[in-house]
Structure 1
Amino acid sequence: MADTPWLTILGLGEDGPKGLTDASRAALDAAEVVMGPPRHLSLLPDVTAERIEWPVPFADGVPLLLAHRGRRVVMLASGDPFWFGAGTVVTQALAQGEWTALPGPSCFSLAAARLGWGLEQIACLGLHAAPLARLRPLLAPGARAIVTLRDGAAVASLAGYLDGAGFGASVLHVLEALGGPRERVRRVTAQDYALDDMQHPVAVGIEVAGAGAVLGLASGRADDWFAHDGQITKRPVRALALSALAPRPGDLLWDIGAGSGSIGIEWLLSHPSLRATGFEGNPERAARARENAQALGVDRLQIVEGHAPEVLEGQPRPDAVFVGGGLSQALLERLYALPSGTRLVAHAVTLESEALLAQAQAAKGGSLLRVELAEAQPLGRKRGWKSAYPIVQWSVTL
């Protein structure tokens, strides 16, 4: 660990020198190198340090920054570098004592101050390089969000996305160059959006309105949310599976035989810290699972093509495992080798796979549950019960 930080991560506002604190000015005066995007460099007062433009894409600038380790370096970032900012990325490559940070007001704080919104009550998302569909789980009438976007074209895309999802009545507060002399705030509905003279940087406050479909908060969302070819864990059984899997913050799930990806997707929808990897041997189903995850705002679902147990080799160890297809004795033996405390849930439909789970429960303990469901269906001019294949669920903590 370094005795003295060689890097200062400085949050710079749109007002440039006017917003600098005494500590910020001292850091700039002492710097040998100042590195940042061209827009930020243009906001600086006169400094004697060497100026280096941060390249695009952002990741290319990290090794360039690290090459100056040992010199006095100031890295420029927007507002608060650790609130959807660059500081989080850069410090992953540094020891704690190598850097210090001087944050400024974040654009989220500035936006909330302009709109009079309680920041603790709204969703905040950085969508500079992320798909707009990450908003999908949040879309419900009355919901509010503040999002940062790359440019004016991205704001237009946001309006089109909301309109296409049935929320065209949503009010967009378009906030440009907050905190500086070019600041501007405009209000428009998504369905009527026609602005074409956007000033960077841009954030948008969203007040959701409209009659679009709302993605519920509880596990067991309707099957219609997932594109599938029939290979899907149906809604009631999916709810039982998620309950048995018992997701906890930060957990990693293995979804073996991912099919439509519905189990992994619902797992990820439970909490933003959760991680999931789906394993699917059918390329078409694997592609469909990725598309479903993108559409429902959990593009962080990883899909690995291949058949278990072979495809599991070399994968990060999971906290929970769901087996929805491809059950075999070889797969069970592979899963038994996972660390103590791993939660395992497996489903069976065929007599052969039921027998495997009965033997597994006898050997390893846990809970064995048989689920038989029937739905009311037309029967002539009346109605009757149509039964689905029974499902046997084995759940155990290894």
Structure 2
Amino acid sequence: MSGAWLHVVGVGDGGLATLTPEQAAALGRAKIVFGGARHLAMLPDDHPAERIAWRSPFADSAADILAARGRPAAMLATGDPSWFGPARWLRSILAPGEAVVLPAPSAFALAAARLGWSLEDLRCLTVHGRPVAALNPEIADRARWLVLSEDGASPAAIARLIADRGYGKSRLTVLEHCGGAAERVRDAEAGSFDLGGIAALNLVAVECRADPETREFARTGGLPDEAFRHDGKMTKRVLRALAIAALEPAPGLLLWDVGAGSGSISVEWLRAAPGTRAVAIEPVAERRAMIAENAFRLGTHGIDIRDGRAPAALQGLEAPDAVFLGGGLTDGLFVAAFNALKPGGRLVAHAVTLESEAILLALHEVHGGELLRVGVSRAEPVGPYRGWRPAMPVTHWHLTKAQLP
């Protein structure tokens, strides 16, 4: 690419001796070389380029890169820089065509080759610079992952997470220094993980296996009520499935779950689409603990649990793409939530009391949307027979906020 001044060079565990001729030529022409301390130390003493190490935090290095614009430069990165490497970040600060990526085989490719796995059949993940808990939504029986580690402690932390979720029989394979002279491959079960002396540069392959007593749930909305720990303050299964369908979760969207109770709406929202986020607002400490427990047990990550009462607790929050009002409706609460909702966003409100229902009826008259009254009856014993026992009816209202002209 003729307009490129920065070449991003992927380096394998074997160091600069493993570079391709194209990579070596790009590094040889560079007047400036960016990289971490480990990579910069690989440069021979007689290399004339200026060496610039990454700043902490990493994003502060943007100023150094922009200052070098137009001069021949190279950036050293591990393996394939487009796999959880700097390539995506560079695209956010440079114009198209300014940088060229010259990859080495990724750690994922090397690990798959060692294990005889096909990359298209598994998930490639990372905990480098990210919490291990972010892997929680990926846990499922027979799922396969390859995970880039933060350091030598990551494999044990991954094993604990998996075992605590009821997948202690899962097999973890730790691959250290893949492609290098110090390469080593070892494995252990998650529930009895005992590998020690693990190198900082490692990748973990995981084959998830559920323990016999572990129950798995579908990703579709409407989990059984007994899947959640709750004290009765919970949107029940039928209404919850209706609410999730009306909220329309999609990757990247943010939900406000106001009066979250057990967190059932937040949990189902996150389970429905990868990359969703939720703010669960709940004033009762015991219920906030239930939200955290339910989120972990049901394999979610990304709920921001807040202490507070709405509408005051809504101030300063990131604007939502969807709002669920299930913890008692007031005029002031709707106004605050609706004003904060992004154009095109969806709002769902449930009412059980006559007073809350009256508010919904008035709001529907002004704002439109869809209004439903839902009654559910369950078959229960009546002496030696069975009969229908009705639950309290719930008024469901949902609407989409108009897009700006």
TM-score (norm 1): 0.86
SS of the aligned residue for 2:204 comes to strand
1:253 paired to 2:252:
no
What is the CA deviation profile of residues 178-223 of structure 1, one whole-angstrom value per residue up to 9, with x for unaligned ones?
1222222223322343221223321111111232332422122244
The equivalences for 1:150-229 within 5 A come to 150-211=150-211, 212-229=214-231
CA shift for structure 1 position 235: 2.7
Residue equivalent to 2:267: 265
Q: CA RMSD in A?
A: 3.1
Q: Identity over aligned residues, as a percent?
A: 47
CA shift for structure 1 position 110: 1.7
CA shift for structure 1 position 348: 0.7
Letter in 2 for 1:17: L
Partner of residue 350 from structure 2, selected from 347, 350, 354: 347
Is the Cα–Cα contact under 8 Å of residues 136 and 296 in structure 2 kept in the other structure? no
- Give unmatched runs, 5+ long, in structure 2: none
Cα distance in 2 for partners of 1:176, 1:7 equals 30
The equivalences for 1:111-126 within 5 A come to 111-126=111-126
CA shift for structure 1 position 351: 0.8
What is the CA deviation profile of residues 229-286 of structure 1, one whole-angstrom value per residue up to 9, with x for unaligned ones?
4332223321111111122343332322233332223212222233333344456645
Q: Mark the CA change 1:183 to 1:349 in structure 2 (over 3 Å): closer, same or farther.
A: same
Partner of residue 359 from structure 1, selected from 335, 359, 362: 362
SS of the aligned residue for 1:174 comes to strand
Residue equivalent to 1:320: 322
Letter in 2 for 1:361: H
1:110 paired to 2:110:
yes
Residue equivalent to 1:11: 10
SS of the aligned residue for 1:76 comes to strand
Cα distance in 2 for partners of 1:199, 1:19 equals 21
Residue equivalent to 2:23: 24
Cα distance in 1 for partners of 2:203, 2:296 equals 22
Residue equivalent to 2:37: 38
Q: Mark the CA change 1:193 to 1:26 in structure 2 (over 3 Å): closer, same or farther.
A: same
Cα distance in 2 for partners of 1:276, 1:97 equals 37
Q: Mark the CA change 1:282 to 1:65 in structure 2 (over 3 Å): closer, same or farther.
A: farther
The equivalences for 1:255-334 within 5 A come to 255-282=257-284, 285-286=287-288, 288-290=290-292, 292-293=294-295, 296-313=298-315, 315-334=317-336
Letter in 2 for 1:136: N
Cα distance in 2 for partners of 1:223, 1:206 equals 31
Q: Mark the CA change 1:58 to 1:377 in structure 2 (over 3 Å): closer, same or farther.
A: farther
Residue equivalent to 1:233: 235
Q: Mark the CA change 1:323 to 1:15 in structure 2 (over 3 Å): closer, same or farther.
A: same
The more displaced of 107-116 and 377-386 is 377-386
Cα distance in 2 for partners of 1:292, 1:122 equals 26
Is the Cα–Cα contact under 8 Å of residues 13 and 177 in structure 2 kept in the other structure? yes
Cα distance in 2 for partners of 1:224, 1:124 equals 33
Cα distance in 2 for partners of 1:59, 1:285 equals 37
What is the CA deviation profile of residues 137-183 of structure 1, one whole-angstrom value per residue up to 9, with x for unaligned ones?
33333221111112332212222332333222212222111122222
1:133 paired to 2:133:
yes
The more displaced of 273-282 and 9-18 is 273-282
The more displaced of 56-65 and 240-249 is 56-65
CA shift for structure 1 position 117: 1.7
Letter in 1 for 2:202: V
Cα distance in 2 for partners of 1:225, 1:56 equals 42
Letter in 2 for 1:373: V
SS of the aligned residue for 2:153 comes to helix
1:77 paired to 2:80:
no
Q: Mark the CA change 1:52 to 1:265 in structure 2 (over 3 Å): closer, same or farther.
A: same
Cα distance in 1 for partners of 2:298, 2:33 equals 41
SS of the aligned residue for 1:267 comes to helix
Cα distance in 1 for partners of 2:38, 2:376 equals 61
Cα distance in 2 for partners of 1:331, 1:381 equals 47
Is the Cα–Cα contact under 8 Å of residues 17 and 45 in structure 1 kept in the other structure? no
Is the Cα–Cα contact under 8 Å of residues 139 and 299 in structure 2 kept in the other structure? no
Q: Mark the CA change 1:375 to 1:5 in structure 2 (over 3 Å): closer, same or farther.
A: same
- Give unmatched runs, 5+ long, in structure 1: none
Cα distance in 1 for partners of 2:227, 2:324 equals 20
The more displaced of 35-44 and 177-186 is 35-44
SS of the aligned residue for 1:96 comes to coil
The more displaced of 278-287 and 105-114 is 278-287
Cα distance in 1 for partners of 2:227, 2:151 equals 30
Cα distance in 2 for partners of 1:285, 1:92 equals 40
The more displaced of 364-373 and 290-299 is 290-299
Report the number of matched residues. Answer: 396
